[in-house]
Amino acid sequence: MKTIRNRQEWNLTRWNSSPPGPVSGVLVGPPVFFDITDVRNEHMKGQIGNVDKQRAQDQWVNLCDEIRGLGLSVHELDPQREQVDAVFTANPSLCTSDSDGLPKVIIGRMNHPNRLPESDQHQQVYDQLGLHCDSLPAEIVSWEGNGDSLRDLQRPLLWCGLGPRSQEAGHVAAGQILGLDLAFLELPTADFYHLDTALALLNETTAAFVREAFTEEGLQLLEAAFENLIEVDPQEAKSRLAGNMWCPDGSHVFITSQTPRTCALLTESGFKTIEIDTGEFLKSGGSVFCMRQEIRDAR
């Protein structure tokens, strides 16, 4: 397993093509009990108790309807009263493809104690779907799944965010389970605490990124890795989490509404944007990517 941290190491590495399997569905968490009860990131400041529950439900239903509109299946967690963050299904697990293109699930380890039970809920659904789940070594304290781990769409590689929510050792363990190399990106900015808030892999050669979320070394690594880089509008990235977009098929991009500059850039690059109002969830620091965990078939 190779680990890559800069442009120089990238340029010395060669891979065989190893794309993941196609996305066939998603795991989602109905926001029945969604709420903001404390402050865990910059976006949550001043938002405690400020969730419009009906509006959140309507926004979530709209997202699920649009996902089904692309022919993808939608699998739901069973809502639990104590699990106010369970709508953000990207974090408690990583459901992806290993180096052979086979479906693989790794159960995460949440940073905040009251989110720990969410991983067990994820495993229950995966068991029902017949997907085998691997666990991290016991010594890993925090590793937040798909929030900080993005499977490259061309190479046998996992992009790994090094920020406040996931230990490097967790990424290493995940790479070993999946048989994938690792590319590390430091996340020094409080607004972009998960990798998925600042980097979106759109197709084999294209990624969207938030410039201020990365170090200069990280930016150089991204420039070396992708033929096409779309820079998310900085104001839309900060106020609307525009970088937290999701492209399940290399063509359609789910993105929060009121992001005209970023949407225009995506359209110019040949993508079809699907704008979703995620305003209630932005208060908690999450948007469309955070609100789904993709499920892939075998390649």
Torsion angle, alpha carbons of 185, 188, 189, 193, to 10 = 60
Structure tokens at 142: 């925090």
Q: Phi/psi at 277 (nearest 5 deg)?
A: -75, 115
Q: What is the CATH number of domain 3-296?
A: 3.75.10.10
> According to the model, what pLDDT value does residue 144 have?
98
Please name the residue that has the structure tokens 């937290």: 244
Closest CA to 252 of 269, 238, 235, 236: 269
Closest CA to 287 of 109, 88, 79, 105: 88
- Give residue limits of the domains in the chain: 3-296
Closest CA to 281 of 74, 30, 91, 34: 34
Q: How far apart are CA 209 and CA 237, in angstroms?
A: 9
Three-state DSSP string of 161-201: EECCCCCHHHHHHHHHHHCCEEEEEECCCCCCCCHHHCEEE
DSSP 234-269: HHHHHHH-TT--B-SSSSEEEEESS-HHHHHHHHHT
> According to the model, what pLDDT value does residue 104 have?
97
> According to the model, what pLDDT value does residue 298 have?
97
How remote is the C-alpha of 64 from its chain's centroid?
16
> According to the model, what pLDDT value does residue 66 have?
98
- The mean pLDDT values, 10 residues at a time, for the chain of 299 residues are 97 95 98 95 95 98 98 97 96 98 97 94 97 96 98 98 97 98 97 98 98 98 98 98 98 98 98 98 98 97
